[in-house]
Structure 1
Amino acid sequence: MTTEAVVRGAPRQKLLAAPKQAPNLFDEFWVPRSNERADIALVSREMNGYEIKTDRDTLRRLPRQAPAYGRVFDRCTAVVASRHSSAVIDMLPEWWGIVEISVNGTVGFTVTRGARANPEVDPETLVRLLWRDEAFIALVRLGAEPSPRSTRSTLWTELLRLADLAQLRAAVRRALRHRASNPSPSRFMPLLTDGRAGR
Structure 2
Amino acid sequence: MRDIDIRRALLVRLLQAHNKDEDTRIVQEMGVWAGTVRIDVAVLNGEMSGYELKSDSDTLARLPLQADLYSKVFDRMTLVVGSKHLEKAATLIPSWWGIVRATSSEKGVKLRRVRASRRNVNHEPYVVAELLRKDEAVAVLEQHGLAAGWRSKRVKLIHERLARELPVRELSKHVLRALKNRQDWLRENSVHQLDMAVDAQLNPMF
**Alignment partner for residue 109 of structure 1, among 104, 111, 114?**
111
CA shift, 1:5, in A, is 3.1
Worse-superposed segment, 4-13 or 156-165: 4-13
When residues 140 and 3 of structure 1 are mapped into structure 2, their CA distance, relative to the original with a 3 A threshold, is closer
Worse-superposed segment, 6-15 or 106-115: 6-15
CA shift, 1:3, in A, is 6.6
Separation in 1, partners of 2:163, 2:10: 34
Alignment of 1:9-158 (within 5 A): 9-17=8-16, 18-19=18-19, 20=21, 24-32=25-33, 35-106=36-107, 107-147=109-149, 148-158=151-161
CA shift, 1:38, in A, is 1.0
* TM-score, normalised relative to structure 2: 0.79
* TM-score, normalised relative to structure 1: 0.81
CA shift, 1:56, in A, is 1.1
When residues 59 and 154 of structure 1 are mapped into structure 2, their CA distance, relative to the original with a 3 A threshold, is closer
Root-mean-square deviation (Å):
2.2
Judging by fraction of residues, say which structure has more helix: 1
Amino acid paired to 1:11: L
The aligned counterpart of 1:173 is 176
Runs of 4 or more above 4 Å deviation: none
Q: Which residues of structure 1 form unaligned runs of 5+?
A: 185-199
Separation in 2, partners of 1:98, 1:126: 23
Separation in 2, partners of 1:81, 1:170: 33
Worse-superposed segment, 49-58 or 9-18: 9-18
Worse-superposed segment, 17-26 or 121-130: 17-26
Q: Kindly, what percent of the aligned residue pairs are identical?
A: 33
Q: Which has the larger radius of gyration?
A: 1
Aligned residue-pair number: 181
Separation in 2, partners of 1:83, 1:21: 37
Amino acid paired to 2:181: H
Separation in 2, partners of 1:32, 1:131: 12
The structure showing larger relative contact order (alpha-carbon pairs under 8 Å, at least 6 residues apart) is 2
